[in-house]
Chains A and B, each alone.
Chain A
């Protein structure tokens, strides 16, 4: 299977919650550098608790720096962006980030759905979205949008996920999504050239 071979990728969006960090780190390590596309990560975190997540992700990623974008910061290739704690992260048509402090969606802020839907609107076929382990149902609608706008959707195989609810909910809503084990995702990302 060669999902991403020869595909023009503009953005890779990765969403995850409980149990997703180890897989996320191995995915990020597998991406060749310089990265010809933009990487956007949405991970659920506790609010008002200082988080070392960006530091954790930066470790071992070579020069690829993790940026928690400010409002209106331009979206650029070869950058790794992490949704800031306690905000929804959206992308505007002029390729700038837009933050949103409105109500949590499915108890989540940042919401994976909100970012994936926004990525789908702006990047269409150029979007690849990966949904990892988690204990709620965030991400399912976002994956739906990615598929509807012509992007590529990948969901972590539930039996390989520390928490299965999130991948299971997404698969239920998106029969046509690609369900892959972490090693298969890594293989796909290695083949992608952007």
Chain B
């Protein structure tokens, strides 16, 4: 049955500003440079799920209920992810990028905004098949502690497995994809030997700093939620975190063109948004 178009939810831009301010002062998370249209949409969606109609109710609960805030954070941030999403990109990684990275004695990879880990698990499989996993250190970070807790379990849902297997094959995978998992009632667990070199840690792209030097940084469909100011901050952070000639991989519909670091990178594969830091 069709629901009415959130007719009762009223949230003005000023109220959204007040909520952003409250979250910053009380919990230390800064959403002021998130892309406004999608932030407004997600806050309204949280209110709908919580049964609130006014910005006042939302402010009241954020002020007085810490548990509510963590639920709100979980609902507000986008945690959608897939294995081998955009197979053509993973094929390029396999065929063009990994052979270049093979020359490094230790290959350090950063997945920024890893959500529940599906992309870093995909990368671990690629590195394993290229015989590079034993030389790789994978750092997977996210703003959301609940995501990291889930990612550390190495468990992905079973229902999209068929799609993931198809993506894997499209990405040039020739082995038995399901062989990388142990199946349980509650999900499919990635084999521990594929996960042992992954370090999961909380990192907030809005406020945290460079923490290592990487040969490859993957940050796909994360910066779309940021405004231009924050995109500039984050892409500068990535530039500073890459070794010379290191690779940066962003989402298929994201572009460095609209950021300040654009002159310092070249896109190595047309249209795939795999960039290489110039020296």
Contacts and interface: CB of A to CB of B under 8 A. Distances in A.
Interface of A: 48, 68-73, 84, 87-88, 90-93, 96, 98-103, 113-114, 117-118, 121-122, 137, 140-141, 144-145, 169, 172-173
B37 A87 contact: no
Contacts of A145: 5
Given A92-B37, A100-B41, A72 B4 contact: no
A71 B38 contact: no
B78 interface: yes
Contact of A73 (B4, B223, B225, B258): B258
B35 A92 contact: yes
Interface string B158-169: 000001001100
Nearest to A169: B2
Choose among A87, A100, A137, A145 the residue with the greatest number of B CB atoms under 10 Å from its CB.
Answer: A100
B78 to A, nearest CB: 4
A173 B5 contact: yes
A56 B86 CA distance: 22
A140 B42 CA distance: 19
Q: How large is the interface on B (under 10, 10 to 19, 20 to 34, 35 or more residues)?
A: 20 to 34
Contacts of B167: 48
Interface string B228-244: 10010000000000000
Contact of A101 (B35, B36, B224): B224
A36 B4 CA distance: 34
A96 to B, nearest CB: 8
Interface stretch (B62-70, B123-131, B174-182, B249-257): B249-257
A52 to B, nearest CB: 16
Nearest to A90: B37
Interface string B250-279: 010111011000000000000000000000
B19 to A, nearest CB: 17
B5 A103 contact: no
B221 interface: yes
A121 B38 CA distance: 12
